[in-house]
Amino acid sequence: MLRAENGKSAPSPNPDLLVRGGFTDEVDGFWVYALSAASPDAFQVCANGNQADIVLIVSGLHSGLIHATWGEGWRSRSVEWREWAKGCAMHVFANGSLLKEPQTGARKVRFCDG
């Protein structure tokens, strides 16, 4: 479960959807959902437990022609941030793990262990 900076749990994703896990950038929490139960060809990422706030949809998993479609309000993020978020989402989709962002001194270090 994601934890907010104040130590409280972030909203839980809808249990009816196919939740793979989540990650955070220390500002927002992101949940990764498979789009089908059997051999999904795509997944989506939603922000802060709000399924209407679609951050990213990644399709083409079977063909290998991976295509990322960014949600409104998220496509204006920096290229670096979008690459980081897409990499973390792919890692969570494949591994079902909950990623965390460690701190190194006063500088934030983003990583995806995968």
Domain residue limits, the chain: 18-108
User: Is the whole model's pTM more than 0.75, yes or no?
Assistant: no
As a whole number, mean pLDDT of residues 20-39 equals: 90
28 residue type, one letter? D
pLDDT in tens, 55-114: 999 999 999 899 999 999 999 999 999 999 999 999 999 888 665 543 333 334 444 444
As a whole number, mean pLDDT of residues 13-30 equals: 80
As a whole number, mean pLDDT of residues 39-61 equals: 93
Confidence at residue 10, expressed as pLDDT on a 0 to 100 scale: 52
Task: Tell me what percent of the chain is helix, strand and coil, each rounded to the nearest 5.
Answer: 15, 35, 50
